[in-house]
Amino acid sequence: MTSVLTAAAPLQTFDVERVRGEFPALQQTVHGHPLVYLDNGATTQKPNVVIESLERYYYLDNANVHRGVHELSERATDAYEGARETIRQFLHADTVKEIVYTSGTTEAINLVAYSYASRNIKSGDEILITEMEHHSNIVPWQMLCQQTGAELKVAPMNDNGELILEEYEKLLNPRTKLVGMVYVSNALGTINPVKQMVKMAHKVGAVTVVDGAQAVAHIPIDVKDLDCDFFAMSSHKVYGPTGMGALYGKERILEEMPPFQGGGDMIDYVSFEKTTFNKLPYKFEAGTPHIAGAVGFEAALKYVQNLGLGVISAHERGVLQYATQRILEIPGVRIIGTAGLKCSILSFVLNDVHPSDIGTILNLHGVAVRTGHHCAMPVMQHFDVPGTVRASIGLYNNREDIDIFIEALTRAKQMLT
């Protein structure tokens, strides 16, 4: 097997045609048309290096991690812990103690809700989130408020889908104990000023949780620069496997938190009288983990790092601008989410046509988009739409994809209106 764990060689400029060739799923036809994959906000396709890393792991290295004395277990442990170090570097965290594996963003946020917040938040306290959160950053806090008697507050956005920062600031007060904020809205594409929001939240002593699910594939992340207390991410949104993700937490805070789940690996010593817990980050990782997931996650992060997030985001910005300009040529299109600072996402409605009808016709042209509420129902309520059609751009999309999408959309409009 060749270079299975090595990522793509660094590129001087972004060669999108070469990059497309590295994603086998993109080479297929759907309903007789070349696949145009514009559903990257839901999940990204995987490059060869990621698929090969998983294959190699299962072909050669598969074993359970930690405490194994045999060769395969040592290899699996090295790969698993090596991946943690790669995630640390990707996020610019200080130490691997601050990197906890989770099944994804959702589990990472729930971990904070159960382990940190249920202990530190009580009746009379407030949790502040924004109006553009994904359900993953709404429902855990609502459940927590029900349990504790704390109150959930929501910072509003304007009709461009931008957070109204003055309103956010007004809602912060000494009762605010935790602030949850999405870095990039999956429904609108809005990039929130999270560094500033974290700073403002810290002024009132609140702990901050950044939902980085849609950010990591498009924006270089430095958790120390952001100064956030927690940062949640999913591997599958950044070209890695599903069922894998990470929670970054400041060491000092994680140290004080009790375990999330009980079981193997998270313990130091167990007796029927008393159990003591493992050190960070293992205290939060009960049971046999998704070892192959970590291996694939690492390969994905290295792939993205080798291409360069700066170059990727410049390329994607160009494609998004082109798509925005082209879609506005179609009368009746209303873009949902017109923030000044956006990435990847083009959400829209077309007259009063139901989004799923449009999605169904686009699919017949080989174009994959997502339709519906995108797990952000309050965003749909704000814009008074049942849902949107969402085209979301990844690093392998080019202008030709957009041309095909626009052509298919024009046909859909002719059929449906």
Nearer Cβ to ligand PMP (125/211): 211
**Distance (Å, rounded) from C-alpha 292 to C-alpha 287?**
15
Single residue of 165, 375, 377, 385 touching ligand PMP by CB under 6 A: 375
Nearer Cβ to ligand PMP (234/278): 234
From residue 341, give the alpha-carbon distance in Å to each of 183, 191, 265, 281, 318.
11, 6, 43, 35, 13
CB-side neighbour CA atoms (13 Å) of 118: 16
**Site track 155-194 with ligand PMP (rule: CB under 6 A), x = hit:** ---------------------------x---x--------
**Ranges within 37-76 binding ligand PMP (CB under 6 A):** none
77 binds ligand PMP (CB under 6 A): no
Single residue of 210, 213, 295, 380 touching ligand PMP by CB under 6 A: 213
134 binds ligand PMP (CB under 6 A): yes
Q: What crossing angle do the helices spanning 309-327 and 291-307 adopt, rounded to 10°? A: 80
User: Site for ligand PMP (CB under 6 A): how many residues?
Assistant: 12
Q: Does the annotation mark 145 as catalytic? A: no
Nearer Cβ to ligand PMP (54/345): 345
**Distance (Å, rounded) from C-alpha 407 to C-alpha 329?**
11
Nearer Cβ to ligand PMP (296/404): 296
214 binds ligand PMP (CB under 6 A): yes
From residue 83, give the alpha-carbon distance in Å to each of 148, 157, 200, 239.
37, 37, 33, 15
Question: Smallest Cα–Cα separation from 382: which of 164, 200, 201, 195?
Answer: 164
**Distance (Å, rounded) from C-alpha 35 to C-alpha 414?**
22
Single residue of 45, 77, 234, 347 touching ligand PMP by CB under 6 A: 234
Kindly state the smallest distance separating residue 105's Cβ from ligand PMP, in Å. 4
3-state secondary structure 178-197: EEEEECECCCCCEECCHHHH
Kindly state the smallest distance separating residue 93's Cβ from ligand PMP, in Å. 20
**Site track 78-117 with ligand PMP (rule: CB under 6 A), x = hit:** --------------------------xxx-----------
Question: Smallest Cα–Cα separation from 50: which of 306, 398, 221?
Answer: 306
Q: Which of 145, 228, 343, 375 is catalytic?
A: 375
Beta bridge partners, 127, equal 152, 178
Q: Are strands 245-249 and 367-368 parallel, antiparallel or unpaired?
A: unpaired
Question: Smallest Cα–Cα separation from 259: which of 280, 240, 242?
Answer: 280
211 binds ligand PMP (CB under 6 A): yes
Active site residues: 375
- Interface contacts to ligand PMP, rule CB under 6 A: 104-106, 134, 136, 182, 186, 211, 213-214, 234, 375
